[in-house]
Chain A
């Protein structure tokens, strides 16, 4: 995903001289193509996430589309107030890009486990969340980013993910994307790494007739469009690589205005069982029966 991100960013930056990339001293073997082609629009802010975020806001106020890039908890939790006040409140064109979404960096310990980031960002109403589940969804998210303005959060995993969407993906904000058709009108609804988890869950006999839909682009602005989509199905199970507390499933549940919908919605995601544990992503998922 991160390679697809930089490939598209470089392509777009060659057409748009207002695109700037600022990294927080991370991105080895990823960001170099941008740095080499656009040295005047590439900055390493150093290990200074607060300054990176506020500075990006100031730069965006001068008409630039600024991408700030780091590992998931650093340009989010470390500078949460800068995202809230400087970028969000001023509605500036800054995209916070994180890698290591979910438990991608499972062996690196709790500091690198991005399992609360969506909960933080969805508190900021101006922010659009873009959480692709595979490279094809990453391409669609990038297209969306370049066709709109305003604060955004692009949550990437790492590199080498397979494509679960077999065709080109077209995404709209808050609209579910069909990945696999349902045979029984029951679905898994995913965001980010929830997509790969749902693919695994389909192998269980009890879910073999389920379909999979993803919702890569969401956030506070798009809650109103959820009820109609929920009503279309007989059962919806949300799946995410994030704590269930304040995550994607919670967002879906909070979107419900029809009380009957509660009866057909349940959630799969991470719990306190993974907090403080270390291991591969697969190992950690098993701690939560995923």
Chain B
């Protein structure tokens, strides 16, 4: 399966999950699907039969509310029986509505923003101390970048030349109530990240070739790598794209059917 086909499957499974449990945040989940598809199909070094393999690459999802697309890709990559996704958001399930480390393949639980990057810095430091040549990738929402803890972490990461750290900003420019620009303008990400010591790449976060090229080893210098991925919230479902309401709303049966058809026909 190539990463494009995988991304379609992730989108469909994610939609079915939020529909089934009447959950929120589908727009945020769809926004980062292509990033996940490229990482899990072409980049990350892992063994789904041995999810705790010490030398694996690790992905930390800091925007934990977008969990369905990560659960979906882990299920599609056989970290667990994909049928378990039907328990998502249900009583007693390990598949919580924010990403949960109780699920095989999930490294870290988040839900409160601004925790993933500092935690990833700790992993990157640990790998350096152990002289393990694996990498840690962390996906942040753009609104989340306002959390001060991220900037503390970047200071440490660049000071200690953590070149095994890849920070990915899912830059869909839409947060809880309106655009990031209108909420607390964070531009220019590039200038800020460069000032904090990162090697920075801007790209189209839905272009698999650009993503794959950005994650290649040639971009891992002596600095942490920051990828500013320009994305569209709700990507792949026309009536969800760039709409704040899909941060909250769950598709009904009719909307789900239209969304699945759009993805199949894309």
Residues of A within 8 A of B (CB): 20, 40-41, 43, 45-46, 48, 50-51, 53-64, 81-82, 85-86, 89-90
Contacts and interface: CB of A to CB of B under 8 A. Distances in A.
B152 A50 contact: yes
A74 to B, nearest CB: 13
Contact of B156 (A51, A53, A86): A51
Contacts, number: 93
A41 B126 CA distance: 10
B118 A59 contact: no
B254 interface: no
Contacts of B115: 54, 81-82, 85-86
Given A50-B148, A62-B127, A63-B126, A55 B112 contact: no
Interface residues of B, number: 28
Given A54-B118, A55-B122, A59-B125, A90 B152 contact: no
B123 A59 contact: yes
Interface in B118-176: 118-127, 129-130, 148-149, 152-153, 155-156, 160
Nearest to A58: B122
A61 B156 contact: no
Given A51-B153, A90-B101, A90-B108, A61 B118 contact: no
B109 interface: yes
Interface of B: 101, 107-112, 114-115, 118-127, 129-130, 148-149, 152-153, 155-156, 160
A41 B130 CA distance: 11
A64 B152 contact: no
B152 A86 contact: no
Best-surrounded residue of A51, A61, A85 (most CB of chain B within 10 A): A51
Contacts of A41: 129
Nearest to B153: A51
B126 A61 contact: yes
B149 A64 contact: no
Given A50-B148, A55-B118, A81 B112 contact: yes
Contacts of B110: 85
A59 B122 contact: yes
**Nearest 4 CB-CB pairs, A to B?**
A58-B122, A62-B126, A54-B118, A51-B152
10 contacts: A43-B125, A51-B118, A51-B152, A54-B118, A54-B153, A59-B129, A61-B126, A62-B127, A62-B129, A86-B108
A62 B108 CA distance: 12
B156 A48 contact: yes
Contacts of B118: 50-51, 53-55, 58, 82, 86
B137 to A, nearest CB: 13
Contact of A55 (B111, B114, B119): B119
